[in-house]
Amino acid sequence: MPLYNRVALIGLGLIAGSMSLAMRKHGLAGEVVGTARSTESRQIARDINLCDVIVDTAAEAVKDADLVVLCVPVGAMAAVAAEIAPALKAGATVSDVGSVKRDVIEAVGPHIPEGVHFVPAHPLAGTEHSGPKSGFAKLFENRWCLIVPGDADRAAVDRLTQLWQGMGSNTDEMDADHHDLVLAVTSHTPHLIAYTMCGVADDLGRVTDSEVIQYSAAGFRDFTRIAASDPVMWRDVFLSNKDATLEILGRFTEELFALQRAIRQGDGPYLQEYFTRTRAIRRGIIEAGQDTEAQNFGRDNTEDAT
Ligand code: NAP
């Protein structure tokens, strides 16, 4: 039995596409209806049969839907919520997959009509690719999905939790502010550092010509993968999770200064102790099944040097 008769996905990028494919693979929805902002994305989605039905507007998509999932950039959530509000079915659940929770709750919450349940969520799964062709059914398998129920109806929260578990995710519940702080540490600030490092290398690249690209296997390449993520999505993440990101960036800067001082003073024991501690973090991630143990992420890398 499907968990929802009709699921509407607003936005048809990496996350919505992966949800549609996963829900259909596991028989979790009777019907998946999707829509995207541009004619081009909707046409691609039709061509690749991404959903059961593709419609032209968000208001049309949510009609008679039991679950509506907002899969647009965080900064676009309020406008989409305002557009769909009058068309929502009584008793339906509205959720989202935004990477920031407090801001999205404040933007979407006021538009949710009486009798409709709002259960925010965030799948901790992604790639640097975007658009309707980037989704794949296994994206959420063995990844976490954080659900931020607030005071939402318990039955609605439980059903959404079952949906994420049905798509292969582990689930946990969290308060919105705590979510935003945790994600500032584990995702948002690392992305900012990757963007910065690529910017620095780009400036340097102008001096050293192609060396930065030619020798990028030595660690820098992994920064470039992260820094290739969708610019609009990440612009919105930093504008929306401002306080937590600034808090973590402040701590990062202090640590960086401490390492800078240790290097200047030739303090080997400090550096070694620091790097021993960080190595243990990597081991913990592998033991938790959240990354591969294969050398260099399993790449065929006979040419790589560090
Ligand atoms: P994506 O592949 O770039 O797709 C975004 C979708 O939103 C597209 O269908 C796009 O329509 C639509 N859209 C963009 N701007 C819009 C606007 N102003 N109004 C209405 N629709 C708009 O994005 P994604 O990676 O799936 O991300 C979607 C959400 O998931 C974001 O909130 C993001 O924070 C969150 N998330 C992302 C990741 C990740 O790693 N990518 C992981 C977890 C959560 P068009 O194609 O027609 O432009």
Distance 226 CA to ligand 1 centre (A): 16
pLDDT given for residue 292 in this prediction:
80
Distance 13 CA to ligand 1 centre (A): 5
Q: What is the pTM of this model?
A: 0.93
Instruction: Calculate the CA 224 to chain-centre distance.
Output: 17
Burial 177-199 (b: 16+ CB within 10 A, else e): eebbbbbbeebbbebbbbbebbe
| pLDDT tens-digit map of 145-180 | 999 999 999 999 999 999 999 999 999 999 999 999
Averaged over successive runs of 10 residues, the pLDDT of the chain (306 residues) comes to: 97 98 98 98 98 98 98 98 98 98 98 98 95 98 97 97 98 98 96 92 75 79 90 96 96 96 98 94 86 75 41
Which of 99, 128, 148, 188 has most ligand 1 atoms within 8 Å of CB, for mutation?
99
CATH number of 178-265: 1.10.3660.10
User: Exposure of 216 by Cβ count < 10 A (0-12 exposed, 13-18 middle, 19+ buried)?
Assistant: middle
Question: What's the mean pLDDT when you consider all of the chain?
Answer: 93
Beta bridge partners of 172: 146
Instruction: Tell me where in the chain the CATH 1.10.3660.10 domain(s) lie.
Output: 178-265
Instruction: Tell me where in the chain the CATH 3.40.50.720 domain(s) lie.
Output: 4-174
pLDDT given for residue 211 in this prediction:
80
Residue type, 137: A
Q: How far apart are CA 98 and CA 268, in angstroms?
A: 42
Going by C-alpha positions, the residue among 2, 67, 72 that lies closest to residue 33 is 67
For ligand 1, say whether the CB of 78 is within 6 Å of any of its atoms.
no
Residues in the chain: 306
pLDDT given for residue 302 in this prediction:
43
* CATH class held by domain 4-174: alpha beta
Q: Tell me if 168 sits within 8 A of 141, measured CB to CB.
A: yes
Q: How far apart are CA 209 and CA 41, in angstroms?
A: 37
Distance 252 CA to ligand 1 centre (A): 28
Helices (H), the chain: 14-25, 39-47, 58-62, 77-84, 102-108, 154-166, 176-183, 189-208, 211-214, 220-226, 231-240, 242-265, 268-287
Q: How far apart are CA 54 and CA 32, in angstroms?
A: 9
The residue assigned the tokens 């959530």 is: 77
Angle at 245 between CA 244 and CA 251, to 5 degrees: 95
